[in-house]
Amino acid sequence: MGYILIKNGNVISDGKIQNKSILIKDSIIYDTDYKGDVPENCDIIDATDRYVSPGFVDIHLHGGGGFDFMDCTKEAFEAISRVHLENGTTTAVPTAVSSEMSAILKLIDTFKECREECPNFYGIHLEGPFISKNQKGAHKEHLLHSPTDEEIELLVSHGKGVIKRITAAPELSNMDSFANKMLENGISLAVGHSDATSDEAMDAFRNGFSHVTHLYSATPSVRKINQVIKAGVVEAAYLDDNVTVELIADGKHVAVDALRLALKIKGTDKVAFVSDALRPAGTDVNESYLGEICPENRVIVEDGVAKLPDRSSFAGSIATGIMLLEKGVNHYGLSLCDTVKMLTETPAKILGIGNIGKIEKSFVADIVVFNSEYRIENVISKGKKVKQRGTKR
């Protein structure tokens, strides 16, 4: 593969922006401040007046480019991989909306078939079906239930090495046995779409749940139960310093002050930005579907978000990595360094991947080059150029 020299860019990593040149050798970052001669067999990217950041890490997304992971086809996987790569996401966690077990097994099989072609897919995230009917959001109620022993066995045997994270409601029955089995098999657990009180959520954190899925969305906050003001999942996440959270920071789902509050309490080390992107992400359609393509799943896309056809509620996001970056700075008023961190280093840590998310020697060469208007010019995935200035989209 040879060398790539990213010359003279404003490199964002580790909370700093520094003007320097990065040398990539094969799939690895070889030197983070290269001053030598241009090596032989070297591709040069002139990054003068551009920003150079680690590739984005999106731990929660359902689709893009007109496809949803639940389409369970190679074509869908490749298109979603491509559209998010081109928008800077070099590590993505394909997420399954609550589905029948047969569809989940099919998704796992498709993932295994597409590993080569989709270099940015890390592993699967199951968002349900073991979630609360009271906090179902856009999930289909009839599919939601407590995990059975048979399902637990099936997920472990079939999903080994592929399922990386599961979002569940810890207040459901049989959850202790479920949680033990998943944690034993290296699957991380998040509280989400849950109606838990803070007591129940704190118990879950003690039992190995370590994260909260899209904080504020389908997670209760303070409310009155039998005359008593009870804290909810949100406050439990705030009270436990070890717990990490994710926010759909698309400028639509979470208002500025709600995001600022989460950051004030948790800090940039514990907050990851996610897209939770649906099928229409990365396209310019104004009509699409939430999950499976059928008339009852129709959604409209307007004002940068997917909505139910009667506009009564958001149906999901159409964000991509670079859109989240732009919103972090322009909508939420965060610094470029903080925004990049919550799109790279922090989610990489949440996934437990030690060699991505920073521009550091020996790290994987996942790199994004963008201009001051947040337009992507180059994307490098594992040392390979996937997008170049001037190419379409």
- Nearer residue to Zn ion within complex by CB, 127 or 250: 127
Select the residue whose beta carbon is closest to Zn ion and give its number: 276
Tell me if 300 sits within 8 A of 286, measured CB to CB: yes
List Cβ neighbours of 20 (8 Å cut-off, separation of 6 or more): 8, 9, 11, 32, 33, 34
Q: How far is the CB of 189 from Zn ion (least distance, A)?
A: 16
Q: How far is the CB of 276 from Zn ion (least distance, A)?
A: 4
Q: How far is the CB of 60 from Zn ion (least distance, A)?
A: 6
Cα-Cα-Cα-Cα torsion 347, 174, 151, 201, nearest 10 degrees, comes to -10
- Nearer residue to Zn ion within complex by CB, 18 or 134: 134
- Nearer residue to Zn ion within complex by CB, 97 or 368: 97
Contact between 250 and Zn ion per CB under 5 A: no
- Nearer residue to Zn ion within complex by CB, 52 or 126: 126
Cα-Cα-Cα-Cα torsion 139, 327, 353, 2, nearest 10 degrees, comes to 120
Q: How far is the CB of 335 from Zn ion (least distance, A)?
A: 27
Q: How far is the CB of 382 from Zn ion (least distance, A)?
A: 26
Q: How far is the CB of 138 from Zn ion (least distance, A)?
A: 8
Site for Zn ion (CB under 5 A): how many residues? 2
Q: How far is the CB of 26 from Zn ion (least distance, A)?
A: 35
- Nearer residue to Zn ion within complex by CB, 276 or 326: 276
Tell me if 319 sits within 8 A of 309, measured CB to CB: no
Q: Where are the alpha helices (DSSP H) in the chain?
A: 74-86, 101-113, 149-159, 175-184, 198-206, 233-239, 256-266, 321-330, 336-343, 345-351
- Nearer residue to Zn ion within complex by CB, 127 or 240: 127
- Nearer residue to Zn ion within complex by CB, 126 or 356: 126
Q: For residue 104, give both structure tokens.
A: 């989940």
Q: Are strands 209-212 and 188-191 parallel, antiparallel or unpaired?
A: parallel
The beta-carbon contacts of 36-39 under 8 Å, at least 24 apart in sequence, are 38/5, 39/3, 39/5
Q: Which residues within the stretch 72-101 sit at the binding site for Zn ion (CB under 5 A)?
A: none
Q: Which residues within the stretch 107-146 sit at the binding site for Zn ion (CB under 5 A)?
A: 127
Which residue from 148, 140, 141, 144 is spatially nearest to 131, judged by alpha carbons? 144
Specify which residues 64 forms β-bridges with: 67
Q: Which residues within the stretch 268-307 sit at the binding site for Zn ion (CB under 5 A)?
A: 276
- Which residues here bind Zn ion, judged by CB under 5 A? 127, 276
